[in-house]
Amino acid sequence: MKRQRGVALLTALVLLALATMLATGIAFDSAMVARRSTATLGMEQALALAQGAEALAAYALNKDDNKKQDDPSEAWAQPYGPVEVVEEVGLEAQMFDEQGKFNLNTLVNADGKRDDDSVLVFTRLLELLQIETNWATLLVDWLDEDGFTDQAGGGEDSLYASQVPPGRAANLPITSVSELEQLPGFGRERYL
């Protein structure tokens, strides 16, 4: 009799452990489904909000009266918001005229060769900012596809290999303005 009670108790404990594991698995799966649903809903809301902001920008640009010239004082360039779209969800936006900026990648043409006109414009911009003009030549060598120094004051892989830490010239278009800090001696101050 005593032996049978021990087996029955052991069987009950094993069944209880299995039921607990099953319940925990079901609860975990339910919690994960709820979290996935919440994340999906949040993503859908963010996408709808972004599309609304894009439509608002298109409307502002459509209402622009001065189509021949743009400047930062126009209505489309003014900050919008913050506006509470839904409870605890706000929208704040501002448009910038990207055409008013100099594209560093234009220092080389589509063939990967130096574009003299763009280099002249960039050199003049550096002069106006009171920054040394030798950065134009270094930047051309950073961008161009060949491994040869463009002009005096330029630099290819040999220059970057001697840096700490050593590196190589990108020989590709710039994807981030922070790449300027890779130019030897450019420094944080000039970057800012």
pLDDT (tens digit, 0 to 9) for every residue of the chain, 192 residues total? 555 667 777 888 899 999 999 999 999 999 999 999 989 988 998 898 889 888 888 888 888 877 777 778 888 888 888 888 888 888 888 888 887 788 999 999 888 888 899 999 999 999 998 888 888 888 888 888 776 666 666 677 777 777 778 778 788 888 888 888 888 888 888 888
Which contiguous run of DSSP H or E holds residue 83?
A: strand 80-86
Q: Give pLDDT, residue 128.
A: 92
Q: Which pLDDT value is given to residue 153? A: 62
**Which pLDDT belongs to residue 93?**
86
Q: What pLDDT, on the 0 to 100 scale, is given for residue 24?
A: 93
Question: Between the CA of residue 118 and those of 43, 97, 114, 148, 150, what are the distances in Å?
Answer: 42, 20, 9, 20, 15
Asked whether the whole model's pTM tops 0.95, one would answer no
Residue 108 near residue 140, CB atoms below 8 Å: yes
What is the four-CA torsion angle of 79, 82, 83, 84, rounded to 10 degrees? 160
